[in-house]
Structure 1
Amino acid sequence: MHFESITRADGAFQQSLTAEQIEAACRRGFGREPESAVELGGGSFNTTYRVDFDEPVILRVAPAWSYRIERDFMRHEHASLAFFAPIAALMPRTLFVDFTHDLIPRDYTFQTMLGGVAGPDGLRDLADKKDFFRQLGEIVRTVHGVRGERFGRPAGPTFATWSECVLSTLDDTARDLRDAGLDDSDVREVQALAAKNADVLDEITEPRLLHGDLWVPNVRLDNGRIVGVFDHDRASWGDPAADWSLYEAGSRPGTDRDAFWDTYGQRDESPNAAWRANLYRAVHMGAVRIERHRLGLTDKIPASYEQMAQVLAELR
């Protein structure tokens, strides 16, 4: 088997597999060894390979460890897969999953390979970027139309109320920050405000499916059309307004991103909805801070405290 891996520093978060591990995983999943396995760059969480048999497939391998708010992402992705049926034609097919840790001491999955080009590359070349965001708005609206029974991550834990779910996420975020040696006091203040205003959160009574990371980096494009959607490992059941897609769509008003709302539908502008939207911004900022720390982007961490202070001023 031809094998190529990415050289990383000792202690790096992402760790490559050996050729022998990939061969063993392929024998288990497909009954034979592949012609080649080439590690792909671009992602920052899972380790990913293009594996060639008669047709290429994608092998994704979970990290050896993760923070609480990032834990068991691959298991959440697998548990939620059936609920993404309305957009199944856009998503890769899962070919084989192994969570036993028998051959590799990490979760891994094989999936079909999507066509098209990477979203950032395809978007850069588009003359009409508004049409792209209209397509994205329609896809996100379709995902949010799927109803659930409880709030939380698909593989658990789940919660009877939205406020319990949000408070748990904020608690995990604060604990992760503390474990990382970062100041968690602003997230703890957000948590206290969320607890004080639990009734505002609990106006959300129906869990809806959230992709968790559906934006430009996680789509594939072909001649301006979105032909692929992937990486729903942050999927959850919650308030659609809390999804990352809406956070990104509203982050640069007055730009082409505004076309997202043409197909998704306009946001609830009521005072309670506006308060929840600010709270969700704080939740996302806490997650972004953890991610920046994990990626070693220490120069960008101070900005997260400045942004959180602005959000806190609006929540108080």
Structure 2
Amino acid sequence: MDCRCFPPTARTRGVFVEFRSISREPSAFQQPVADVDIPEICGRAFGAGVRVTSAVELGGGMYNTTYRITAESLPEPVILRIAPAPDRQFASERGLMRNEYATVPYLSTVATLVPRMLFADWSQEIIGRDWVLQSHLTGVPTPERLGAYDRPLWRGFFAQLGEITSRVHSIRGAHFGPVAGPGFPTWSAAVVASLHAIADDLSASSLDATDVRAVADLATEHRNVLDEIREPHLLTGDLWTVNTMLSTEAPEPVITGVLDLDRTLFGDPAADWTIRMASAKQDERTAFWDAYGSRDASSAGAWRALVYEARHLGAIRLERHRLGNTEGVRDSYVALGKIVSALA
């Protein structure tokens, strides 16, 4: 962690600010902003008289850059989230922050758990990047807290996660695809478009996308199986342990917050990342299904699940490439090859 205090300047309007950023390589995907940008951002959101006192970059996420901000005129800390520069975003991930902003009106069933949007700026005038200010959620990140509980108590956490996911999945949309668009009239069209977007990103990154394109072709050929899904429901997109907060006081795990709903889309709930993760192991997470409900055990549902897994693996390959995980990229080809064989 790099900790610096910067002196008053014309841009900071005489405020003395503690600025802490995470040390990163210049080539790293996540990049901080300049210390003098923070007061200007807060001035735009809260008025020229705001007196920022600290800005501390938070770790944990792998996409946006996040700071906890305190100011004399604000009653509690706020969270500043800054999107990657537009030219650093994959096409299949473009505008994720704007997608999250568009999702807020649909989150009434979990409104007490998600941060409030305080201000959003898509002008890119200050730092050349999208950014939002959100309320600060109470609690501690689940990965830092869950291990303090005896393992039998973890079942309660996963049951809560199942109940939250069920609430989100109960929300219906008017189209298939990302909440902010583009929207599609059928589920097959949305899935095929997503697979092609991921494949195009892989090709642009000089990675072989033959397997992902093969899945897109199979999904097109058997679109009728995908189009058995006739009603678009809201998917969390990325909800799992790393995107939840736990109470610091409770004698058993209690979820107090849900974060980073920027990959939301309307479609088949079975395609959600949360469902994939809940299905991955037969351990404490099986309690998820006690609260969520049963899974689709039909042959058509099993075929769709393979397509969804291929989509997840394609996105995972992109993320691993972005993080420089060459071994993980290689492993994704083995896993996806098995999916293609099973689908064909």
Q: TM-score, normalised by structure 2?
A: 0.90
> 1:2 offset after TM fit, Å?
1.2
3-state SS of the aligned residue for 1:156?
coil
Give runs of aligned pairs for residues 202-213 of structure 1, distance below 5 A.
202-213=227-238
> 1:286 offset after TM fit, Å?
0.3
Instruction: State yes or no: 1:40 paired with 2:40.
Output: no
Deviates more, 1:70-79 or 1:293-302: 293-302
**Corresponding residue for 1:181?**
206
> 1:43 offset after TM fit, Å?
1.1
Instruction: State yes or no: 1:283 paired with 2:274.
Output: no
Deviates more, 1:305-314 or 1:176-185: 305-314
User: Residue 256 of structure 2 is aligned with which of 222, 227, 234?
Assistant: 227
Q: Distance between the aligned counterparts of 2:263 and 2:271, measured in 1?
A: 12
Structure 2 alignment gaps of length 5 or more:
1-16
Give runs of aligned pairs for residues 139-288 of structure 1, distance below 5 A.
139-222=164-247, 223=250, 224-252=253-281, 254-288=282-316
Instruction: State yes or no: 1:2 paired with 2:18.
Output: yes
User: Residue 115 of structure 2 is aligned with which of 83, 89, 92?
Assistant: 92
> 1:33 offset after TM fit, Å?
3.3
Q: Distance between the aligned counterparts of 2:259 and 2:25, measured in 1?
A: 28
Q: RMSD in angstroms over aligned alpha carbons?
A: 0.9
User: Residue 110 of structure 1 is aligned with which of 117, 128, 133?
Assistant: 133
**Corresponding residue for 2:83?**
62
Q: Distance between the aligned counterparts of 1:114 and 1:239, measured in 2?
A: 29
> 1:122 offset after TM fit, Å?
2.0
**Corresponding residue for 2:31?**
15
3-state SS of the aligned residue for 1:90?
coil
Number of residue equivalences: 315
> 1:259 offset after TM fit, Å?
1.0
3-state SS of the aligned residue for 1:147?
coil
Which residue identity does 2:325 align to in structure 1? Answer: L
User: Residue 26 of structure 1 is aligned with which of 9, 23, 42?
Assistant: 42
Q: Distance between the aligned counterparts of 2:53 and 2:139, measured in 1?
A: 23
**Corresponding residue for 2:338?**
310
**Corresponding residue for 2:7?**
none
Which residue identity does 2:221 align to in structure 1? Answer: K
Q: Distance between the aligned counterparts of 2:51 and 2:300, measured in 1?
A: 56
3-state SS of the aligned residue for 2:129?
coil
3-state SS of the aligned residue for 1:35?
strand
Deviations for 1:238-277, whole angstroms, at most 9, x for unmatched residues? 100000000000011x211111110100101000011001
3-state SS of the aligned residue for 1:159?
coil
Q: Distance between the aligned counterparts of 1:9 and 1:230, measured in 2?
A: 26
Deviations for 1:50-100, whole angstroms, at most 9, x for unmatched residues? 100242111000001210111100000000111011100001111111111
Q: Distance between the aligned counterparts of 1:6 and 1:267, measured in 2?
A: 42
Which residue identity does 1:34 align to in structure 2? Answer: V
**Corresponding residue for 1:295?**
323
Question: Following superposition, which runs of at least 4 residues in structure 1 exceed 6 angstroms of deviation?
Answer: none
Q: Distance between the aligned counterparts of 1:137 and 1:294, measured in 2?
A: 30
Q: TM-score, normalised by structure 1?
A: 0.98
Q: Percent identity at matched positions? A: 47
Looking at both structures, which has the greater relative contact order when contacts are Cα pairs under 8 Å and sequence separation is at least 6?
A: 1
| Higher CA-based Rg | 2
> 1:102 offset after TM fit, Å?
1.4
